[in-house]
Structure 1
Amino acid sequence: QAARLVEYLRDRPQDRPLDVACALATTRSPLDHRAVVTGTDRDELMSGLRAVADGEHAANVETGLARGESTTAFLFPGGGAQRLGMGRELAAVHPAFAAAYDEVCAELDQHLDRPLRPMIDGDAEALDQVGYAQAALFAIEVALFRLTESMGLRADFLAGHSTGELAAAHVSGILSLPDAARLVAARGRLMQGLPEGGAMVGINATEDEVRPLLTDGVGIAAVNSPDSVVVSGEAEQAHAVAEHFAAKGVRTKRIRVSHAAHSPLMEPVLEEFRRVAAGLDFQQPRIPIVSTVTGELAAGDDLRTPDYWVRHMRQTVRFRDAVEGLRAEGVTRFVELGPGGVLAAMAQECLAGTPDGNLLVVPLLRKGRSEELACATALAQLHVRGTSPDWKKWFEDRGARPVELPTYAFQRQRYWLEASSAGGDPSTLGLEPADHPLLGAATVLADSEGLLLSGRLSLATHSWLRDHAVGGAVLLPGTAFVELAVHAGGRIGAPALRDLVLHAPLV
């Protein structure tokens, strides 16, 4: 099919690639074996298409087999995932994303001391401050959810890392946008108001290996994968823990932050944060959430109490446990809704070695890559595995119009039996006409001039048929054909044929 399309498009340079893609995605049936080519111009797309035709690997080609039903979880990242200019490209192309982004930023601006969007677009220093970073991440994550929602992608479960769980709480319906914006802004403001001097360090070690080295001033901020934890707290003590492992050759990484989240240093602001949360109106979630506080599916009113969100601010982020909890709920598709793909990488580490070929982990956006191309690639990966977006919506936003396509590349092999003008001869089956009166009837093909067993039979040669003659034509009842089939089955030693005939309904 790809080779046929290559040849067809080679002779039609006037067709816009966008219109060709629209026709392929919206006017053809999505069969099980799928391929998607992504690119930014005609040459790149044609090159990928030729790779599909030749059965070769290409960086801009996704192929796969749709495996039927799947269960999807959306993942929302936390602090540190923010980047300058995030969301700008998507806002220029997707109205649903742009509208949601503007709405959320406007709501957050009511609680911030300066407008959020200008900081996201051009003030890297401000964006790294915890108070603004959390608000910015909440805004883009909610906008990404609205974008996927507009394209028909649905989440069966949600999970969020630190601040990301606030985005999950809002899109699930637990918190309205005004209440969620108030809680996000308060969380960032209170953390930003704490004295600086804390530190966070990532360590490639297990939680059990790290825990004996903790002090009153240092805690485990996150367990991200089986051998990746983050320690957080008073700077000197946190660095001492990291140096202990570095001396053993274990990889450590200092995380650039102004405040040590999920550490004992958060204690002074917890009561004020509780008062803010107590003034909110919590509702039942429409989409289930797997908590990163417990690592399990949130039950009952867990996420609808101020106490939960206080614990959420202070305690360890158990992302590894949350991934395992999602798997226990049957999740096979993990889609990260964030600006960089950091959670997708951690989820893949958590799922390494899982014997399930149907698993798929996809970040909607990737750091250092065009947002539009990254989003298209993510949708392609989902589509070839059977989780298809609403492609009509995707192309509708770009003004695409379907064009004429080449016909399907059928194999065009003939499987019908060739007609024969010869009549049937019962003796070829080891039967003799004398065995049954019907076996002596002439059986000729429908397109010949002869007579049919099921139509007109010769009254001259088969006088016993006179009782079945109506207007000079023989009308043989269906039971006679049943008798013939039963008799023939018995003569050739095929009891299964007899059983089939005897139990089949007469039509």
Structure 2
Amino acid sequence: FLADRTEAGIADIGYSLALSRATWDQRVAVTAATREELLDGLKAIADGGRSDRVHEGGAAFLFSGQGAQRLGMGRELCEAFPVFAEAFDAAVVELDRYLERPLREVVWGEDAGLLERTVFTQAALFAFESALFRLWESWGVTPDVLVGHSIGELTAAYVAGVWSLEDAARLVAARGRLMDALPEGGAMVAVEAGEDEVAPYLDERVSLAAVNAPGSVVLSGEEKAVLAVAERFADRRTRRLRVSHAFHSALMEPMLADFETVARELTYTAPRLPILSTVGPDVDLTDPAYWVGQVRATVRFADAVVELG
């Protein structure tokens, strides 16, 4: 079909396949930026060969954490897709109950520094990511498993049915507000090193905030101590993260009691979609204590990726 119709654009083909063709349990996907790349992928399928453009198997959705936010996110999606707009609007309405200013004004405003404030960042990512999930869901794309990085794990739990929108928004807003109210002065640094390499330097001042890959970790804690440890790896790639607070470190502990109070007032339901925890195996996502501990725990994203494989 594609070879005989040079006028057919791949964006139009993708749109039609998603919205106007039957879907089946057995599927294969081809990723391509040009007609030639698409044809190469299709030929590989037809010939029974392998190609980096051809993807088979289940689908996993990842909900990212702080750092993924940007001004204007969701605006064009709201204009183009009513399903996205409805879900985004519903989340914003619930979140605005707990925020000091309207979330939409922050996300679609011009002050990037304001959006980077934790209280708005986490709320904005929750609204955007949950609406994006509803959009994919409306197209018949249902993931086999969900994964979330830090605040993204709360979004994953919400779309999986652990909380109602009202309860999820309350928990997300409390998390961001309580973190934002903590004293500033901490630091987070991404380091090109393995967990075993940084382990000897971890203490009450320096925590392992995340293990994102076998050779990629994030340190978090008191600024001077974190920077001193990062300096030990000066021959590697290091990058200080643009964050207001030292997340997933001991500096988060002063907000945990108040956060637990909110978490225990919510209603929890078993998730209807599988979720791979980045805290550890065999966890109970319907236990408020899990979400309190998740604030402080290391984000073991690398383990979740391995499990997906």
Give TM-score, length-normalised by structure 2. 0.88
1:250 and 2:236 aligned: yes
Equivalences for residues 144-163 of structure 1 within 5 A: 144-163=132-151
Q: Distance in 2 between matches of 1:174 and 1:33?
A: 30
| Aligned counterpart, 1:75 | 62
Once residues 130 and 30 of structure 2 are traced to their aligned partners in structure 1, the CA distance between those partners, rounded to angstroms, is 30
Q: What are the superposed Cα offsets for residues 316-375 of structure 1, whole Å, 9 maximum, x if unpaired?
A: 011011112233xxxxxxxxxxxxxxxxxxxxxxxxxxxxxxxxxxxxxxxxxxxxxxxx
Partner of 1:288: 274
- Which of residues 218, 238, 258 in structure 1 aligns to 2:206? 218
Contact 1:34 1:64 in 2 (8 A): no
- Please state how far the C-alpha of 1:81 moved relative to its aligned partner: 1.1
**Does residue 184 of the first structure (1) align with residue 184 of the second (2)?**
no
Contact 1:34 1:65 (8 Å CA) reproduced? no
How many residues end up aligned between the 2 structures?
299
The 8 Å contact of residues 35 and 64 in structure 1, kept in 2 or not, is answered as no
- Residue 241 (structure 1) aligns with: 229
Query: Relative to 1, partners in 2 of residues 1:311 and 1:21: Cα closer, same or farther, differing over 3 Å?
Result: closer
Do the aligned partners of 2:210 and 2:218 also contact (CA within 8 Å) in 1?
Answer: yes
In terms of Rg, which structure is larger?
A: 1
Cα distance in 2 for partners of 1:170, 1:110 equals: 18
The 1:52–1:81 alpha-carbon spacing in structure 2 relative to 1, beyond 3 Å, is closer
CA contact (8 A) 1:101 1:143 kept: yes
Cα deviation for residue 92 of structure 1 reads: 1.4
**SS across alignment from 1:312:** helix
Alignment of 1:341-360 (within 5 A): none
Is 1:303–2:259 an aligned residue pair? no
Check 1:22–1:212 CA distance in 2 against 1; reply closer, same or farther (3 A cut).
closer
Give the distance between the partners of 2:249 and 2:289, measured in 1 at CA. Answer: 17
Residue 159 of structure 2 aligns with which residue?
Answer: 171
Which of 273, 294, 307 in structure 1 is aligned with 2:259?
Answer: 273
Match among 80, 86, 92 for residue 93 of structure 1: 80
Residue 261 to residue 71, structure 1, CA distance change in 2 (3 Å): same
What amino acid is aligned across from residue 4 of structure 2 in structure 1? Answer: R
- Separation in 2, partners of 1:264, 1:22: 48
Kept in 1, the 8 Å contact 2:269–2:286? The answer is yes
Q: How does 1:94-493 map to 2 (within 5 A)?
A: 94-122=81-109, 123-246=111-234, 249-294=235-280, 296=281, 298-299=282-283, 302-327=284-309
Q: What is the CA distance between 1:65 and its match in structure 2?
A: 3.0
Cα separation, 2, equivalents of 1:28 and 1:180: 34
1:216, distance to aligned residue in structure 2 (A): 1.5
Change (3 A) 1:168 1:34: closer
Which ranges of structure 1 fall in alignment gaps of 5 or more residues? 10-14, 39-47, 328-507
Number of the residue aligned with 2:51:
none
Structure 2 contact 28–57 (Cα < 8 Å) conserved: no
**Does the C-alpha gap of structure 1 residues 64 and 86 become closer, same or farther in structure 2, counting only changes over 3 Å?**
farther
Compared with structure 1, are the counterparts of its residues 52 and 271 closer, same or farther at alpha carbon in structure 2 (3 Å cutoff)?
Answer: closer
Decide which of 15, 39, 45 is 1:65's aligned counterpart: 45
CA positional deviation for 1:309 = 0.8
Cα RMSD over matched residues? 2.9
Q: 1:119 to 1:68 in 2, by over 3 A?
A: closer
Distance 1:146 1:180 in 2: 15
Partners in 1 of 2:117 and 2:23 — Cα distance?
A: 49
CA deviations on 1:76-114 (whole Å, 9 max, x unpaired) are 111111111111121111111111111111110011111
Structure 1 length-normalised TM:
0.55
Percentage identity across aligned positions?
A: 52
Change (3 A) 1:229 1:21: closer
Helix, strand or coil at the partner of 2:100: coil
Aligned-partner SS, 2:268? coil
Give the aligned partner of residue 505 of structure 1: none
Contact 2:211 2:300 in 1 (8 A): yes
Deviating beyond 4 angstroms after TM superposition, the runs of 4 or more aligned structure 1 residues are 15-25, 27-38, 61-64, 66-69
**Amino acid of the structure 2 residue aligned with 1:324:** V
Residue 28 of structure 1 and its aligned partner are, at CA, apart by 9.2
SS in 2 for 1:79: coil
Counterpart of 1:4? 4
The amino acid across from 1:80 in the alignment is G
- How far apart are residue 71 of structure 1 and its match? 2.2
User: Which sections of structure 2, spanning at least 5 residues, go unmatched?
Assistant: 47-53
- The change in CA–CA distance for 1:203 and 1:170 in structure 2 (over 3 A counts) is same
